[in-house]
Each structure stands twice: as C-alpha cells, then as structure tokens.
Copies of this chain bind each other. A is one copy, B any other.
Amino acid sequence: TLPGLSPAGDIPGPSHGIAYPEGWQEWSTIAVSHRTDNNTLRVILGNAAAVQAARAGQTDPWPDGAVLGKVVWKDVQLENWEAATAPGEFVHAEFMFRDSGQYADTHGWGWARWVGLEQKPFDGGMQVCISCHTPVKERNWVFTDPAPFPPLR
C-alpha cells in the first residue's frame, strides 16, 4: 500500500469505551521523540485545545477538553543520509483525553490506543497505561514538555 493509504473503512470502534478521535492525522505538533530502548520514533500531537495550552505554557494542569496523541513508528535508517533515522512501520496511535470530572478515577485522563494501520482498538485496560506513566504522576501524568515554537504569525 502507498504511504497513508490503507483499505478505506468505517470508523474504528472504541478503546476502553472512548470514541475514536477522528481527524487526528491533521492535528498540530507538540513535540517529537526517539526511544532508543525500543527503536521507535514518535510525534506528540494535540487537538486544538491541547495545542493552544501547549503553546501558551498552560499545562499544569492541562485543561479539560485537551487531547494528547502519540503516534509511534519503528525507526529505520534514512537511505540517503546514514546518520538520520526516519519512520518505518506504523505501530500505533494512543491518546490521553483530559476530563478531570469524567475521568477522575483514572487521574483525570481517559487512556486509549488504536493499533496498526487498521487501527484495532486496544482493550487491555487503562491500568497498563497508568502504571507506565506513574513516574510522571506529579507532572499531571504527562511525560512530554511541549517543544519550543516561534509564536504563531
């Protein structure tokens, strides 16, 4: 299949009861990261509420309505520039939905993941996510510091 094209289909079903965040492919960038322990490249995206909060430094806590997304690819060496690592196989997209009331039991966030280009909903339980994010519980459960950007103009 061509990049970005996979068999057209219906909207993927919910993950942990959370509806698929349609249109996330068009969200703006909050940060990027490279994990060298499992050789994956990621982009951290946000919906409009999250990007606005990130750019304004209003992330302690993140506002209700903010959705953070993380898109993960296996990394591969760039063919024409050996010292550059670029995205290979798509792994998954996962999201934290901020709602301090609705998600009070899971630290103010709804946790959801869709796997593979076919976007199969993950249903292993939010605890999988939460336990791994415990090192940053004092940071509103978020690892990412928004990358510095020049002001929008």
Seen from chain A, the residues whose Cβ lies within 8 Å of a Cβ on chain B are 1-6, 8-11, 20, 22-23, 25-29, 31-38, 41-43, 45, 51, 54-57, 71, 73, 75, 78, 80-81, 83-87, 89-90, 93, 114, 116-119, 135-136, 139, 143-153
Contacts and interface: CB of A to CB of B under 8 A. Distances in A.
B31 A28 contact: no
Contacts of A28: 25-28
Number of copies: 2
A23 B56 CA distance: 16
A129 to B, nearest CB: 14
A28 B145 CA distance: 19
Contacts of A116: 150
A87 B29 CA distance: 12
A41 B151 CA distance: 19
